[in-house]
Structure 1
Amino acid sequence: MQVIDAVVPGTAEDFIKNELFGKMGITIYGWQPGLGGLPAAGWRASITSRAMVKFGTLVMNKGKWNGEQLIPEAFITKATSKIITTGNDVKVFGGGKDISNQGYGYFWWNADMKVGDKSYYSASAQGGGQYIILIEELDLMVVVTGHERATPTLQITAERILPIFR
């Protein structure tokens, strides 16, 4: 948030409210301040399931919302790419036999999800039992809201949801 606060006119909070959430029609949200007083970056935020779908749609559309580029496409591509490979020992989504090649971008986790003999690249924003899972190849978004953090959400998606859409 410090970077956003430094490069936008006004504050990071005003920018998020007016240039992102406001333009997307997201009016119900909470964002607790971090130690420096700015909104905390990826955690301490709360949005509704409908807002999660809107945000997932924004990312699936490479930062465009209703024809307007709200976030640069290059940033979305980098954020959802595998910048750091975490390997299969890191069980971000509870792991599972159908999850491999896990990594991390800018606040987005990613992994290959296997269905039969085919693997699909997924990018997922998650925290506190809430998930936005994107499988671009299938034009598929899965939004999960819950509290149970130990649930193998990505494995369940690979086993029960992906077979319906492939």
Structure 2
Amino acid sequence: MITVRRALAVGTLVAAAIGLAGCTAGAESEPEDSIDSSATAGVSASGTAPIVFAFVCAVGSSDRTETYTTYSAVWEDDRTDCTAQRITGTELSSQQRAAVQAAAGDATLEQLAAGCAVRRTGPWVGTVDSATEAHVAAGLLEYCPGHPETDHLQDAVAGWRS
């Protein structure tokens, strides 16, 4: 009995090894083994990708900062002093383009992104007292409609217009 079990076990291992060898026998070499760098000399990357930001926020009144990759993470930590830093991308998304146009030159894309990251500060809690502030508010409303304080900002803009 033991001999039959061993024979079955060895047969199973041999079959598995043959199956694995069959899978890799036709596999191509590693990409770096076949790259001819002279063939790609002078070639530049093409294509576009939407701009994505990381948010670098002050932690309290110290010199320490924390970096976030989503607005919601910044909102959860109640950060009020953040900058936006591009981490990837080359082209504005349609939402980003609309936000910059709504800001009418009174805020850059980076300023709007940083403004979307914070809460309980700036236009999210203040009043709109000038055309410049109204433009920035319009840009923020376009760029981050899901901000937790959107209702206040919409009311502030409506108050300024009336």
Structure-2-length-normalised TM-score: 0.25
Bigger Cα Rg: 2
Structure with greater proportional helix content: 2
Structure with greater proportional strand content: 1
Structure-1-length-normalised TM-score: 0.25
